Amino acid sequence: MPLDPAAKNLLDLLVAAGRPKVWQVSPAEAREGISALAEAADAKDVPIGRIDNAAWPGPAGALAYRSYTPVDAAGDPLPALLYFHGGGFVIGDLDTHDGLCRLLANASGCRLISVEYRLAPEHKFPAAVEDADAAACWVADQARELGIDPDRIAIGGDSAGASLAAVVCQLAKERGGPRLALQLLLYPATESGVDTPSRVAFAEGYLLEKKSIEWFFQQYVEPGTDPIDPRLSPLLAPDLAGLPPAHIHTAEFDPLVDEGKAYADKLAAAGVEVEYVCHPGMIHHFFCLAGAIPYARTAIANAGAAIKQALARARQAGATAQRRASM
């Protein structure tokens, strides 16, 4: 399928505006750039039931989080979606992903908890992984206080945030907790330091570029860091059996599409329940561009509906297990 007309129009506007490439500016300027893109292209004025801004006790100090209660919330406890924003581990924040989080909370019926984590280059790998892992443990431990059902906690993110979500699922399996009912991975980065065919085919001109990926990696890791570490490359983890069901979304014109599909295939081969969607005509980051790309709203609505159904099944399964245990 050709590039979506709205996505093409956005890319053309960015070129016409002379927007610098991420590797041509400092991390601080790159952060300003993603904020400007969000201001121009994120969904605006999305109604939400309630928003709470607070802090959670990260492993190296307090970090901000934002809780979104959907408009049609039936009352506590609600299912939850712990969410990590994307941005190559360098850029992005709660505000750059606000529109997506509002839409996804409403579509899924989840209390969505979007958490900050330490960014590079100020905080190198594995700081972001440590924060994401600690956030999952904290949400599970504080489930009652947060008004969420501990048996229906999903975890997710986009791009680098999806990588963090995938890694946290692997760490939770190794450790024996917390219990995670589902992983939502939006165009995940799953293998570092490789040139997949899609990274070559879509190296330039599709928002995320090959040089951008390389720049992010240089900011994130210390020189000499082994890229095959599963915390950097979750695709390379030796055993994916026993991980939570996965909903994986990729974009047709995305340098990361091949590694997202490869992770879906490897999970399925390991016996994990997988729902995989490659969105035709779409570019990287499109879930966060619903103000400029109308299809993004449809994709978010469908992704949210699938999460709602999956967590309803998880609730049913939990109730059945409790009944059997009491017999």
Q: Are 155 and 165 in contact (CB under 8 A)?
A: yes
Token look-up 């069901």 returns: 245
Residue 278's pLDDT is 99
Rg (CA), the chain: 19
pLDDT at 324: 60
Residues near 67 by beta carbon (within 8 Å), at least 6 away in sequence: 50, 51, 52, 53, 54, 111, 112, 113, 114, 146
Tell me the domains of the chain and their CATH numbers: 5-326 (3.40.50.1820)
What strands, in cross-sheet order, belong to the sheet with 61-69?
50-58, 61-69, 111-115, 78-84, 148-158, 182-186, 246-253, 274-283
Average pLDDT score over the chain: 96
Residue the block writes with tokens 């049913």 = 316
pLDDT digits (tens, 9 = 90+) for 87-131: 999 999 999 999 999 999 999 999 999 999 999 999 999 999 999
Q: What is the tens place of the pLDDT at every residue in 265-288?
A: 999 999 999 999 999 999 999 999
Annotated catalytic residues are: 159, 254, 284
The model's pTM is: 0.96
Which segments of the chain have a pLDDT < 70?
317-327
pLDDT score for 316: 72
